[in-house]
């Protein structure tokens, strides 16, 4: 019954590797988002997709590439991982008629 799910929950990898984080929502929402939460708990939007189309791209390095195969999924692929990419990444979704967003449990990425 999980509304917004993310896999994996934890991801530890070395610098230079490529990794993906998956997100799925079963709420029927049209819009999905990726956020990054840094070590000081600050949350910042990275991307948003509406019906598989990119809507918001907040000056994220092009090593980060979101992919939306359908409106229920928004995956995040990261190339050439750097130490500064270590953070918790949250996926979220929202319906068109409401303003609030529903968040996944987060993926803690650690780059060594």
The site for another protein (CB under 8 A) is made up of 4, 30-31, 40-45, 48, 50, 55-56, 90, 92, 94, 96, 99-106
Q: What residues are paired with 13 via a beta bridge?
A: 111
Compute the distance between CA of residue 13 and CA of residue 82 in angstroms, rounded to an integer: 10
Q: What residues are paired with 24 via a beta bridge?
A: 5, 73
Compute the distance between CA of residue 72 and CA of residue 16 in angstroms, rounded to an integer: 29
Q: Which is nearer to another protein, 40 or 83 (CB)?
A: 40
Q: Decide: helix, strand or coil at residue 29.
A: coil
**Shortest spacing between CB 16 and another protein, in angstroms:** 28
**Shortest spacing between CB 45 and another protein, in angstroms:** 6
Q: Which is nearer to another protein, 70 or 100 (CB)?
A: 100
Q: Pairing relation of β-strands 10-13 and 64-70? A: unpaired
Q: Which is nearer to another protein, 64 or 103 (CB)?
A: 103
**Shortest spacing between CB 62 and another protein, in angstroms:** 20
């Amino acid at each position: 019954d999980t509304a917004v799910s993310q896999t994996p929950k934890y991801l530890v990898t070395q610098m230079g590797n490529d990794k993906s984080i998956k997100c799925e929502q079963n709420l029927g929402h049209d819009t999905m988002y990726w956020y990054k939460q840094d070590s000081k708990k600050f949350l910042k939007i990275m991307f948003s997709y509406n019906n598989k189309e990119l809507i918001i791209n907040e000056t994220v390095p092009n090593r980060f590439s979101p992919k939306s195969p359908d409106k229920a999924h928004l995956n995040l692929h990261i190339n050439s991982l750097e130490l500064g990419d270590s953070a918790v990444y949250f996926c979220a979704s929202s319906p068109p008629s409401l303003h609030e967003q529903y968040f996944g449990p987060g993926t803690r990425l650690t780059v060594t």
